[in-house]
Amino acid sequence: MPHMIFVEPDGTERKVDAPVGLSVLEIAHKHGVDLEGACEGSLACATCHVIVDPSWAPKLSEATEDEEDMLDLAFGLEATSRLGCQIIMNDELDGLTVRLPRKS
């Protein structure tokens, strides 16, 4: 099974199983990672904002215009910011690393 790594705001890394077909948001919730997802993955908020490790960013599909619009509402945006609900795990993303932004 693929895995992914969540990097907490304090730098702590959590390597977790990442089932194919689940979103980063769903994977976070499955493993008790503090990633809110207030809209439950319906692309109506930015509370599942993650910062993708720069080495992984090119391997992801491009963000949609709707995702970009929601990201504009997120705190602490960076060049590789994405919404966790929009990144769907597949075998090619085995080892994906995302950082959780600091809370405002």
Question: Residues of 75-85 as b/e, b for ≥16 C-beta within 10 angstroms?
Answer: eeeeebbbbbb
Which tokens sit at 46? 């930015």
pLDDT at residue 30 in the model: 97
What average pLDDT does this structure show over 28-34? Answer: 97
- Domains of the chain: residue spans and CATH: 3-99 (3.10.20.30)
pLDDT at residue 62 in the model: 95
Is 43 within 8 Å of 83 (Cβ atoms)?
A: yes
pLDDT at residue 26 in the model: 98
Average pLDDT, the chain: 96
**Band (104; pLDDT cuts 50, 70, 90):** low
**Band (103; pLDDT cuts 50, 70, 90):** confident
The secondary element (H helix, E strand) that includes residue 26 is helix 24-30
pTM, two decimals, is 0.96
